[in-house]
Structure 1
Amino acid sequence: MLPYKNLIRNCVQHSNGDIEVRVLAADKAVLSFKNPVNNPSVMDVKRLFDRFYTGDKARSNSTGLGLSIVSLLAEQMGGSTGVSIEDGFLEIRVELPL
């Protein structure tokens, strides 16, 4: 499975509104997924790519594996992942070599 499929599914399941998807290409491909989130202060963004971590403990339908798989696949493809929260919006970035 390509990283973007897992990210889209994750955004749809956990977004609190519209999802913004960007694809940029220069010396590398950058996929950016941005969406509003409830209670961003309870998320530990440093751990979002950790196996079994879930930002919302109340959700019982999440295994916490989705973003971990995205990170692993990106690394195996020679890329990287990143995450940030700003003004109530979560942004996840995947950078891959062209």
Structure 2
Amino acid sequence: MAIFRTPKPILRDAHDKGSMAEDPVEGMQEPEYVRQKMVVPSFAYLKQALTVADEGLVLEIVMMAGCGLRNGEAQAVNINNLVADDVYRVHEQIHSNPAGRQT
């Protein structure tokens, strides 16, 4: 994880230059990131999801499946980023929304 890679060389350098008596990173194990398996939904699943979703979620699903947007980019879709009848520029994304989707 990046959070451990940034301070580790700084602390090791401080130890090597004599600023610290003991090596603060000796024996430290970085956490191992295990990527979860990605699942691409089938066309039948997408069709079923589109029939039960509200209009906001339908827009997100269509932008993700049809245009290749990631979920944060699809959630940030708005009329201001349309630059032509058939061109949409991705300038924004929503990073998280722990309180739930807002409509």
Q: Same-fold call, TM > 0.5?
A: no
Structure that is richer in helix per residue: 2
Higher relative contact order (CA 8 A, sep 6+): 1
Tell which structure's C-alpha radius of gyration is larger: 2
Structure that is richer in strand per residue: 1
